[in-house]
Amino acid sequence: MKTHITRSHLEEYEISLVNKIKSLYKQVSSDDSGKTEIQVVLDRGGCIVWMDIICSSGHKHLDEYAKKIIEDACPFKDFPENSLHHYLDIIITIIFKHKENHERNVS
């Protein structure tokens, strides 16, 4: 008897995706900040089938970097064995914050 994937298994899978993406994120050397939301569809093998920016940061270089981070993280691990899903549609949000320079020049 094959069981359906439970919500907790799906949540664990999504957490593993986010953690893999976070491990590849490097602070950008830009004064720009913003939030990029990307819709990603994965197949059972953890490969990207489709990806699109659904909410731009307002900065093309940040949006492109967000997509690159996700592409570089692929392939993700396979879906849990008991999953009946053939695809996973997920929205990934990447927030870019520039480092603030706390040093003051004193002359």
- Residue 12: per-residue pLDDT: 85
CA-nearest of 54, 61, 62 to 34 is 62
Does 3 score more than 70 pLDDT? no
Which residues are registered as beta bridge partners of 91? Answer: 39
Mean pLDDT of the chain: 82
CA-nearest of 81, 80, 93 to 12 is 80
Each residue's pLDDT tens digit, 20-51: 998 888 777 677 888 999 999 999 999 999 99
CA distance 25 to 73: 10
Q: How far is CA 19 from CA 30, 72, 73, 76, 77, in A?
A: 23, 13, 10, 11, 12
Read off the pLDDT band of 8 (50, 70, 90): low
Q: What is the torsional sign of CA 48, 53, 55, 59?
A: positive
Structure tokens at 24: 């590849």
Each residue's pLDDT tens digit, 64-106: 999 999 999 999 999 887 777 889 899 999 988 866 543 333 4
Which H or E element spans position 73? Answer: helix 60-73
Does 13 score more than 60 pLDDT? yes
Which H or E element spans position 70? Answer: helix 60-73
What one-character DSSP code corresponds to residue 49? E
- Residue 100: per-residue pLDDT: 57
pTM of the predicted protein model: 0.77
